[in-house]
Chain A
Amino acid sequence: MNRKDPIFYGLLVITALLFVATIEHVFLNTPVDARLGIVYKIFYFHVPSAYCMYLGAGACFLGSIGYLVRGKPSYDALARAGAELAVVFGAIVMVTGPLWAAKSWGRYWTWDPRLTTTLLSLLLYVAYALLRSFSGGGSGEKRFAAALGILGAANIPIIHYSVKKWSGQHPTVITQQGGGLGHPAMKISLTLAFVSFTLFTILLLWLRIRHVLAKERLALGEADAIDLGLEEPS
Chain B
Amino acid sequence: MSSQDIAAAPAHAAGTTGATSAAPLPVGTDAADRSTGFEATTGGPEMKSGEVLLVQAYVAIWLLLFGYLALLWRRQRSLHLRLDAMDRVLDRATAAAQATKAPPS
Q: Which residues of A contact B (CB under 8 A)?
A: 34-39, 41-42, 45-46, 49, 84, 88, 91-92, 95-96, 99-100, 102-107, 109-112, 167-169, 204, 207-208, 211, 214-215, 218, 221-222, 225, 228, 230-234
Interface residues of B: mostly helix, strand, loop or mixed? helix
A211 near B76 with CB under 8 A, answer yes
Report whether A42 and B92 are in contact in the complex, using a CB–CB cutoff of 8 Å: no
The residues of A that contact B60 with a CB separation of less than 8 Å are: 92, 95-96, 99
Q: Is the pair B1, A107 in contact by a Cβ cutoff of 8 Å? A: yes
Name the residue among B2, B10, B58 with the largest chain A CB count within 10 angstroms.
B58
Which B residues lie within 8 Å of A207 (CB)?
Answer: 72
- Given A39-B50, A99-B57, CB of A221 within 8 Å of CB of B86: yes
Bound CA span A49–B82, Å: 34
Contact B13 A104 (CB under 8 A): yes
- Contact, CB under 8 Å: A169 / B86: no
CB-based contact A38/B54 at 8 Å = yes
Contacting residues, chain B, for A109 (C-beta < 8 A) = 1
Q: Among B10, B12, B56, point to the contact of A36 (Cβ < 8 A).
A: B12
Residues of chain A contacted by B85 (CB below 8 angstroms): 233-234
Tell me the dominant secondary structure on chain A's binding face. Answer: helix
Cβ 8 A contact of A233, one of B9, B75, B76, B82 = B82
B38-73 contacts to A (CB < 8 Å): 48, 50-51, 53-54, 56-58, 60-61, 64-65, 68, 72
Partner of A88, one of B5, B64, B83, B92: B64
Do A110 and B50 have beta carbons less than 8 Å apart? no
Contacts of A211 in B (CB 8 A): 72, 75-76, 79
The answer to whether B92 touches A46 (Cβ under 8 A) is: no
> Contacts A35-B15, A105-B9 given: A99-B68 contact, CB under 8 Å?
no
26 CB contacts below 8 A, A to B, read A35-B13, A35-B14, A36-B13, A36-B50, A38-B50, A38-B51, A39-B53, A39-B54, A42-B57, A45-B58, A88-B65, A92-B65, A95-B64, A96-B60, A99-B57, A99-B60, A103-B12, A104-B12, A112-B3, A168-B3, A169-B6, A207-B72, A215-B75, A225-B89, A231-B89, A233-B86
Least CB distance from B99 to A in Å reads: 15
